[in-house]
Amino acid sequence: MMGNLQPEQWAEVIAAVALGILIGVGSTLSWRWYVRRRERIRRKRRIEAVSIDHLRNVAVPDGSGGVLHIDYVLLTIRGVLLLDIRDVVGNVFGSDPMVEWTVMHAGRRQTFPNPQGPLYDRIAAIKTIVGDLPIEGRVMFGGGSSFPKGLPRLTLREESLEAEFPLGDRAQAEQLVEVWKSDWQRLRETLAQSEFGARS
């Protein structure tokens, strides 16, 4: 049947197939974009739910002429919380003393440096700016990761952020952090001058 088509009919068939492929690819890309955007909004809401104020994507001087990047700096009722976000997909195997952590996914294995050391460096750099303000740090792993052997120290799953750092009543929380407001403002001003500085 197809062999009986005239050249102009073949051109129409090819154009229809090409259009179908383009629509399919466009729909897939649009859906992926939508899912990623929805996840970014969900993450932003989770982070804002535990903080009175926050900074996103900033750099802090490292004391040696360089800078250290920080994904989020949050003012919580426990003080300042630094978040290093890792969007890793698969089973993560890591522990405090290991130099490298391993991710297993779909039969593939990859490694990445233990993120706890750099997190300690970021905490130390922030302490030089606001020494009296309590500072904690966490490496936060997104929903695509799991830890079959348990979570190492200073790590948490994104879903457990609100449970580990509950804000409670916002008006009461704002009163609790009032004692740190001047230190927080000094930190904000210092980090706002960094090349990555951006408030979400």
Average pLDDT score over the chain: 86
Same domain, 83 and 13: no
Size of the chain, expressed as the number of residues it contains: 200
Same domain, 13 and 77: no
Number of structural domains the chain divides into: 2
- Residue 81: the pLDDT is 96
Q: Does residue 26 belong to any structural domain of this protein?
A: yes
pLDDT tens-digit map of 88-116: 899 999 999 999 999 999 899 999 999 99
E-only strand ranges, the chain: 53-61, 67-76, 79-86, 90-93, 100-105, 108-113, 135-141, 145-146, 155-157
Question: 79 lies in which domain range?
Answer: 49-192
> Contact, 27 vs 33, CB < 8 A?
no
Same domain, 28 and 76: no
Same domain, 129 and 176: yes
Residue 190 has pLDDT above 90, yes or no: no
The pTM score is 0.78
The Cα–Cα gap between 41 and 49 comes to 12
Same domain, 77 and 142: yes
> Contact, 70 vs 187, CB < 8 A?
no
- Residue 199: the pLDDT is 43
More confident residue, 186 or 18: 186
Same domain, 116 and 184: yes
Residue 200 has pLDDT above 50, yes or no: no
